[in-house]
Amino acid sequence: MQMKSPFHSNVLSGRVAVITGGGSGIGFGIAQELARHGARIVITGRRKQFLADAVKILTDEGFQASYLAGDVRKFDNCESVVNFAVSKYGSLDILVCSHAGNFLAPAETLSSNGFRTVIDIDTVGVFNICRAAFAPLKKSQGSIIHISATLQIGASWYQIHASAAKAAIDSITRSLALEWGSYGIRVNGIAPGAVNDTPGLQKLTLGMSAEKVNKMLGPLTPLGRICTKFDIAMVIIFLCSAGGAFLTGETILMDGGAWLAGPAPFPRDVAIKMSRSVESKSRQMGAQSKM
């Protein structure tokens, strides 16, 4: 069931947004919601057919959307995407970096090339597209949002490459917020945990269905479910709206509180009984000391 947005449908009216990795998964979910709230959309990625299919869905819904294929590892490709967006729609106001590369690999079996590939896509790619977008974002006093992760908060099994890349992206978020704030550019990040019904999660859970993944991982979070693309898009709309106008340099954790702790060691009713027992003994000891 599609959730209802808390924002007015025209909250981003007149804005132009570039979304990297926008042809599928989290990136496409973000592109859909930005379009539904008034933004004109340019998506980019390496797979042309995915981009074409995604744009068709958006235009069939009546939105203004275009694509240009490119590889964020190549700076000239990033410049082409930015120039295309500005030429097509007249400005660039929002940049969402949602591209990512990841796969499971124990550190002792991960090749140097495999490690470097993820760093190049995730981290170098983020710098490239941000640097390419600087001039038009300075002109519009726009907003950059990086899609990070929770892998690097502690450590994650078999993802040393992605963990390192995301830690670097969080650092880039803070550095760009510091350096570009004087130009009116705000830079923030969103760090979701597992995101339901995405190709990335299917890959990391060895092809498990979205329903099965949510049933398995949902109870591990205080909120009882895992993140959705809609959840992420709503925070991005907030960050790009007047509500987020004084927020920069932050990476917002969006994992339903899963990072806070593991499952409860025993049921709530047992904890209540234990607490009452301790309080009762404390009162008895207090009464005896007054005798």
Contact 19, 41 (CB under 8 A): yes
Virtual torsion, Cα 215, 221, 227, 232, nearest 10 deg? 170
Q: In whole angstroms, what is the distance from residue 171 CA to residue 25 CA?
A: 24
Residue 203 within any structural domain of the chain? yes
Give the pLDDT confidence score for residue 211 in this predicted structure: 75
Does 272 reside within a domain? no
Instruction: Per residue of the chain (291 residues), give pLDDT as tens.
Output: 568 999 999 999 999 999 999 999 999 999 999 999 999 999 999 999 999 999 999 999 999 999 999 999 999 999 999 999 999 999 999 999 999 998 889 999 999 999 999 999 999 999 999 999 999 999 999 999 999 999 999 888 899 999 999 999 999 999 999 999 999 999 999 999 888 777 776 666 666 777 777 777 788 788 888 889 999 999 999 999 999 999 999 999 998 888 886 666 667 787 777 677 656 655 665 556 555
Question: How many whole angstroms from its chain centre is CA 167?
Answer: 13
DSSP conformation class of 224: S
Is 61 inside a domain boundary? Answer: yes
DSSP character string of 103-138: ----TTT--HHHHHHHHIIIIIHHHHHHHHHHHHHH
- How many whole angstroms separate alpha carbon 103 and alpha carbon 115? 10
Question: Helix crossing, 48-60 with 25-36: angle to 10°?
Answer: 30
Q: Which structural domain range is residue 62 located in? A: 16-263
The tally of domains found in the chain comes to 1
| Domain-located, residue 207 | yes
Give the span between the Cα atoms of 103 and 120, in whole angstroms: 14
Task: Find the CATH number of the domain harbouring 229.
Answer: 3.40.50.720
